[in-house]
Structure 1
Amino acid sequence: MTEEERRAQSEQTNGEPVLDFSVGRVNENSTPYIDYHSVDALLSLQHPRTEEPAELTFYITGQVQELLFKLLFTEINRVRDLLFDDRIDDALWYLRRIERTQRVLTACWEPVSTLTPREFANFRNELGSASGFQSYMYRQLEFSLGNKVRRMAEAYHAVPWLHEQVTAVLEAPSLYDATLAVLHRRGRIPEKCVPVEFAEPYVPDALVEEAWGAIYRSPEEDPQLHALAEALSELNYQYSRWRTTHLLAVERIMGHKPGTGGTLGVEWLRRVAEHRFFPELWSVRTEF
């Protein structure tokens, strides 16, 4: 529908909503809104396994987080590609949107944190060995940000299509790889500081830390790089907030029980929460 058609429709209804949902629909058993968002398919995907009312809270918030993982993964790869193309301002715009999405992701723990230990215990056994640790969108998101660990990809070996998909992300450049390439092209770091083996865990480099230090000491020399440094720091800050809130929600719900995926539960989450992407952007702060 064009803007002219929308304006004409609004005039016909005196600005009131159109109540004839047959207008613009794809099939007779739907509405345009359902068609666009696939709402019927989306709302058919909830299958709690117990009569415990709180299970639906756990179920839906988990699905929402998976959708947000997908959105973040897509946007982070977009930023990575923009950085490789030296479109720094465009990358900064999308990093702004990523930060807003991360806040929504963290807020997803709020409904979950209201579960009492008894409510969670009433359906926890139905999880079996299922664990958020197994989320392939989460794993791809971690890889895209630079937290590369090959054995985490090998965990999906039993599912060939999934193993191939996750491994492809493992072996692709990360957001930080693209950032380091920008620093090299701007003459801030030598070529040897830019990774060429993208599947390997990133090792912090003193020369990279020195480069970030120079950028922070004289932000006016390259405002774009200074803004990029702060945007990446914000991204990591928001991600760490999500991890820490996850830790607190789990500890509140089930204490120090082992995780369903075989981890130590809270202790494992505490260790994960201490990880930092873009390490030199954090270590450089000590010198100021």
Structure 2
Amino acid sequence: MEVDGCTIEEISKAVNVGSSEFRQMVGRLASAFRLVQHPDPLITLKAIEARMSAINEQKLHLDELKKNPHQINPLNTVPLGTESTNSQKVDDGVRLLRLLHGARIRELQTKINELMADVQKVTASPRCDLSLGRVGRKTTLAKKVAENLPLNFIDIGETIKKENFFDGYDKRLETNILDEDKLLDHLQERLDSEEGGYILDYHSSELFPKRWFDFIFVLRCDTQQLFDRLTDRGYSDIKRRENIECEIFGTIAEETRESYDKDIIFELNNTEKEDLGRNILEITKIVGKYI
């Protein structure tokens, strides 16, 4: 990440990145971008940079910025708040830290909240629904929604195990390799032969055809709780690390946005039990309107 010539590595040399103040300020900025925090604040900063790049590339908030006369100023216009270090890069790093809990960040968070609300407008007529996530109570949620509507429920992970849809073994990750062709053929046969709509529960998205889905719900989880759940499940260190990094960088959500129409995608925090109950009601309400 580079801000006006100042990289994260240079910021880490100029400030105490292990301090609680630094972690809190990075946390506030992550919250403004609706990102869960990684235990390493520098990784969180990289995730923030990735989210900012995605927003700029998609130009999703361009209209809001045109309507709002209060534009976000360049970093070099932010007051330093202390004596200059006579190093432009170090001074820019200090300015970045001051921004983390300033008024401009609160304004940015408001824009992001409004943007997410706009994305969650649904116009499709559903046949089935896809729940995605990483050990975030997604199966519990999907089963309950299926009971409420009612819809047919398919746990894709369990289907893969039951039908032995494997094509080798990854020794590094200590996991089986999915045979995607066999899985897709099996699911297509089920969708064609059984009546009614479906809820499909899985932790990935890009391999499924667009025509299958009318709603997609991406479930997010706080990284600390995610780490604890992965540990309880006996995941290896490398599998835990890759899952945590996948969550902090929003990999599943980004893959979903690249593979499907954005107006059918809902991104929901499903960390706490209260979130689970609220999300069950929300999804039931959204999908139920079109059944």
Normalising to structure 1: TM-score of the pair?
0.22
Choose 1 or 2 for highest CA Rg. 1
Task: Identify which of structures 1 and 2 has the higher relative contact order when contacts are C-alpha pairs closer than 8 Å and 6+ apart.
Answer: 2
**TM-score normalised over the length of structure 2:** 0.22
More strand by share: 2
Considering fraction of residues, name the structure with more helix: 1
